[in-house]
């Protein structure tokens, strides 16, 4: 378990599947995280069993986000981890809406960034976010992410094309104290 | 889950199996579908397992139709989705007969259209129906589908040939509708 | 065969194998392509077998670039396509160095852009490029791509981190460009 201030990051467990299926039926949440199609429990279960069965490693680090009381509220992961370039892409979803806007997400991002830089020895962590998602952009900035540019009208969601903002945090700029 | 006014569209689950099997063997239901033969529950199970096991995607969007009380009353899907043409064909079945002619099917169609146009970015949704299926044709028309033509005598059901009617709705005209 | 002015795009064939194996082991060619490790003939053969074994389709748009005279000089394609976004990620390699800086790559790009917008009905085509690769950047700009994002220290090679650049072109921009080209004498 990787301890943050408000949350802990733990390995994914098979028992997460039911909650994941519930989150997968939340349209607004899906739209924010770039997913389109609701997924059946039958499709989610083998995927979660797959994550839970493999020891976590450099290749596909996926974590469950738990509050300090042990409430499972979301997922966070690094994908496209390149060992040579030492970079990875971060994505996060707080599925439990009652934990939105209460800094649980930011704490999870900070905790994973610290792990990425200090334990995985990564050099760069990047993320993609809809330009319309002002709440998330502000939160990422507070965590130390810098906006690098805009991929114009790269995604289609809710009947319109949306700009996608690219942000990154570099190990050489990141200092734990400043955060 | 994709919310409509009377119904929600959700991912299908293995728990739907018994209902699907019952519906697909109900001749009153299937007289309007392309289904002709009886289907064993094993065959239906294999088919459903195939659908629910793969993550839902552009190639095969398939939804269970649920009332707001959580009653599973039918299924609807898009198939033959072609990315270049941005065209898909629609299918729908309300298996629970007490829910016929009460606006549930139309609401499911409207909800599916919104998903097809606003999320999947399609340009045209089309469907085929039998000329004797007056109830469905009227409902599709209300949802914005336009009758484009008929393939004369293209389907044989209940002892005689029937015309197969092509209906379609384009995104641009759909966007002008108040229910869009 | 998809005709450009200087080149034509065709499906890959197994007979292209030895050329690809040679090109993807040439450091001059791979320097900016993100291919770090040497490629075995067997691995290249497996890739080619996979790509020639199935018909090209929306998810699988990979072409060999031939000159109009039939000389195979490189490859181009969409490495990913996203049907809902109507978006594709483009990749190109001119492997035969004798054909560098002579407009062949640019013509292949324009030919694939036309195919992407007019036949595949795409809305946006994007790519990433090493910020040091001035020749490629100039070529992409000339084809109408716009620099959108500078990924700071996005990749590592030759002992240092280097920036990467996202470029994109939208359907409307491409169409306007075609109109301009037609209006020009």
Q: What is the ipTM of this complex?
A: 0.85
User: How far is residue A4 CA from its own chain's centroid?
Assistant: 15
Q: Which two tokens stand for residue B129?
A: 């129906």
CA–CA dist B107, A41 (Å, integer) = 25
Confidence tier at C96 by pLDDT (50, 70, 90): very high
Q: Which two tokens stand for residue B96?
A: 């629970």
What 3-state class would DSSP assign to C178? helix
Q: Which two tokens stand for residue B101?
A: 């002619």
Interface contact flag, A124 C85, Cβ < 8 Å: no
Residue B4 has pLDDT above 60, yes or no: yes
Q: Which two tokens stand for residue C142?
A: 């000339």
Q: What is the pLDDT of residue B172?
A: 95
Q: What is the pLDDT of residue B99?
A: 97
| Among B177, B102, B111, residue whose Cα is nearest residue B146 | B177
CA–CA dist A156, A140 (Å, integer) = 22
CB A44 within 8 A of CB A81: no
| Among A110, A153, B50, residue whose Cα is nearest residue C82 | A153
Q: Which of A19-33, B46-60, C70-84 ranks highest by mean pLDDT? A: C70-84
- Mean pLDDT over C127-151 rounds to 96
Q: What does the mean pLDDT of chain C come to?
A: 94
- Say whether pTM exceeds 0.90: no
Residue B34 has pLDDT above 90, yes or no: no
- Mean pLDDT over C5-26 rounds to 94
Show residues of chain C in contact with B83, CB under 8 Å: 58, 81, 83, 86, 120-121
Helix (H) or strand (E) holding A56: none
> What backbone phi and psi angles, to 5 degrees, belong to C73?
-120, -10
- Mean pLDDT over A113-123 rounds to 93
Q: Which residue of B has its CA nearest to C84?
A: B120
CB C161 within 8 A of CB A168: no
User: Minimal Cα–Cα distance from C1 to chain B, Å?
Assistant: 19
Residue A178 has pLDDT above 60, yes or no: no
> Does B85 contact C at CB distance below 8 Å?
yes
CB A64 within 8 A of CB A111: no
Interface contact flag, A42 B57, Cβ < 8 Å: no
Residues with Cβ within 8 Å of A121's Cβ and at least 6 positions away in sequence, in order, are: A86
**What percent of chain B stands above pLDDT 70?**
100
Q: What is the pLDDT of residue A167?
A: 98
Residue B68 has pLDDT above 70, yes or no: yes
What 3-state class would DSSP assign to C87? strand
Q: What is the pLDDT of residue A179?
A: 52
**DSSP states along C17-38:** HHHHHHHTT-HHHHTTTT--S-
Cα four-point dihedral sign B32, B33, B37, B41: negative
CA–CA dist A171, A117 (Å, integer) = 6
Over the stretch C152-172, which tens digit does the pLDDT of each residue have? Answer: 999 888 888 999 999 999 999
């Amino acid at each position: 378990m990787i301890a943050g201030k408000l949350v802990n990051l733990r390995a994914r467990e098979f028992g997460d599947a039911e909650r994941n299926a519930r989150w997968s039926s939340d349209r607004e949440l899906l739209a924010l995280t770039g997913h389109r199609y609701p997924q059946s429990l039958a499709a989610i279960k083998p995927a979660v069993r797959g994550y839970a069965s493999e020891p976590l490693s450099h290749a596909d680090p996926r974590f469950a986000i738990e509050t300090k009381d042990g409430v499972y509220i979301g997922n966070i992961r690094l994908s496209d981890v390149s060992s040579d370039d030492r970079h990875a892409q971060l994505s996060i979803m707080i599925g439990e809406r009652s934990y939105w806007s209460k800094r649980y997400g930011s704490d999870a991002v900070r905790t994973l960034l610290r792990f990425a830089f200090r334990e995985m020895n990564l050099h760069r962590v990047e993320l993609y976010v809809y330009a319309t998602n002002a709440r998330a952009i502000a939160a990422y900035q507070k965590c130390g992410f810098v906006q690098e540019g805009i991929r114009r009208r790269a995604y289609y969601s809710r009947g319109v094309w949306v700009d996608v903002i690219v942000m990154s945090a570099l190990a050489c700029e990141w200092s734990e104290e400043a955060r | 889950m994709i919310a409509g006014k009377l119904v929600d569209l959700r991912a299908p689950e293995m728990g739907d199996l018994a209902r699907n099997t019952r519906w697909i063997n109900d001749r009153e239901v299937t007289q309007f579908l392309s289904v002709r033969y009886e289907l064993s529950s094993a065959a239906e199970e294999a088919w459903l397992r195939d659908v629910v096991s793969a993550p839902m995607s552009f190639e095969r969007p398939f939804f269970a139709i649920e009332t707001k009380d959580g009653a599973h009353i039918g299924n609807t899907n898009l198939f033959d989705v072609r990315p270049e043409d941005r065209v898909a064909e629609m299918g729908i079945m309300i298996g629970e007969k007490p829910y016929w002619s009460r606006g549930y099917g139309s609401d499911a169609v409207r909800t599916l259209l919104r998903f097809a146009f606003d999320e999947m970015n399609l340009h045209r949704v089309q469907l085929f129906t039998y000329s004797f299926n007056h109830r469905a044709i009227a409902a599709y028309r209300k949802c914005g589908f336009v009758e484009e033509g008929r393939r004369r005598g293209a389907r044989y059901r209940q002892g005689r040939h029937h015309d197969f009617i092509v209906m379609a709705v384009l995104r641009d005209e759909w966007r002008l509708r108040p229910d869009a | 065969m998809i005709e450009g002015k200087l080149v034509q795009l065709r499906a890959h064939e197994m007979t292209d194998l030895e050329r690809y194996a040679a090109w993807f082991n040439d450091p001059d060619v791979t320097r900016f392509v993100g291919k770090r490790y040497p490629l075995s003939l067997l691995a290249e053969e497996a890739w080619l077998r996979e790509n020639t074994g199935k018909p090209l389709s929306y998810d699988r748009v990979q072409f060999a670039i031939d000159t109009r005279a039939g000389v195979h000089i490189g490859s181009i394609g969409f490495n990913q396509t996203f049907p809902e976004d109507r978006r594709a990620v483009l990749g190109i390699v001119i492997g035969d160095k004798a054909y560098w800086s002579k407009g062949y790559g640019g013509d292949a790009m324009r030919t694939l852009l036309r195919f992407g917008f007019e036949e595949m009905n795409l809305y946006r085509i994007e790519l990433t490029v090493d910020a040091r690769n001035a020749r490629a950047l100039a070529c992409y700009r000339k084809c109408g791509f716009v620099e959108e994002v500078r990924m700071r220290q996005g990749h590592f090679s030759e002992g240092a981190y280097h920036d990467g650049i996202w470029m994109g072109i939208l359907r409307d921009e491409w169409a306007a460009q075609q109109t301009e080209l037609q209006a020009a004498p």
